[in-house]
């Protein structure tokens, strides 16, 4: 028995903002933003729920010197906390973050513990 059918899409970083804006316009709920470090890359997952249908957009960036990512917190305020988490744990940088705790959201012993600088 399938739990639920999920739509998982790999997208380019340049498409991210437009895709999220479209989800916001369609009144989808932001479920989560999370990252996974796979080898020397970081996969960032943006998950949405619309009438109990799960959609996930994935962008992949280099783990070393990752490019600046456009914040989606102007569409979803909830995104600000997820983006602060990624900033603190993975060292990712977000442009246009509406609520930026500047690395002070998480109490941590290392600078970017989930993506340590070599």
Partner 1 sequence: MSERKIIPFGPQHPVLPEPIHLNLVVEDEKVVEAIPYIGYIHRGLEKLVEKKDFMECVMVAERICGICSFIHGQGYSQVVEEIMGIEVPARGRYLRTIWAELSRLHSHLLWFGLFADAFGFESLFMHCWRLREKILALIEETTGGRVIFGVCRPGGVKRDISPETLNKIVNVLAGMEGELTDIIGTFTADTTVKTRLCGVGVVSAEEMVALGGVGPTMRASGINRDLRQLGYAAYGELDFKPCVATEGDAYARAKVRLLEIFQSIDLIKQAVKQIPDGPIETKVTGMPNGEYFGRLQHPPGEVIYYLTANGTKFSQRMRVRTPTFANLAVLLKTLPGADLADVPILVLAIDPCVSCTER
Residue ranges that bind partner 1, judged by CB under 8 A: 1-4, 6, 8, 27, 29-32, 34-38, 45, 47, 49, 52, 54, 56, 76-81, 85, 101, 104-108
Q: Return the number of the residue (66 or 73) whose C-beta is nearest partner 1.
A: 73
Residue 32 or 64 with smaller CB distance to partner 1: 32
User: What is the Cα–Cα distance from 86 to 72, expressed in whole angstroms?
Assistant: 13
- CB 10, min distance to partner 1, A: 12
83 close to 33: Cβ distance less than 8 angstroms: yes
**Distance of closest approach, residue 92 Cβ to partner 1, in angstroms:** 15
Tell me the C-alpha to C-alpha distance, in Å, between residue 95 and each of 80, 99, 112: 11, 11, 18
CA distance 33 to 118: 25
């Amino acid at each position: 028995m399938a739990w639920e059918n999920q739509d998982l899409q790999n997208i380019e970083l340049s498409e991210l903002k437009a895709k999220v804006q479209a989800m916001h316009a369609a009144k989808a709920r932001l479920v989560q933003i999370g990252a996974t470090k796979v080898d020397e890359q970081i996969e960032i997952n943006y998950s949405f729920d619309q009438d109990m249908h799960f959609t996930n957009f994935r962008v992949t960036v280099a783990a070393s010197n990752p490019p600046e990512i456009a914040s989606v917190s102007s569409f979803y305020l909830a995104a600000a906390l997820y983006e602060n988490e990624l900033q603190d744990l993975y060292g990712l940088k977000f442009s246009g973050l509406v609520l930026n705790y500047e690395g002070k959201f998480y109490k941590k012993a290392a600078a970017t513990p989930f993506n340590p600088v070599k």
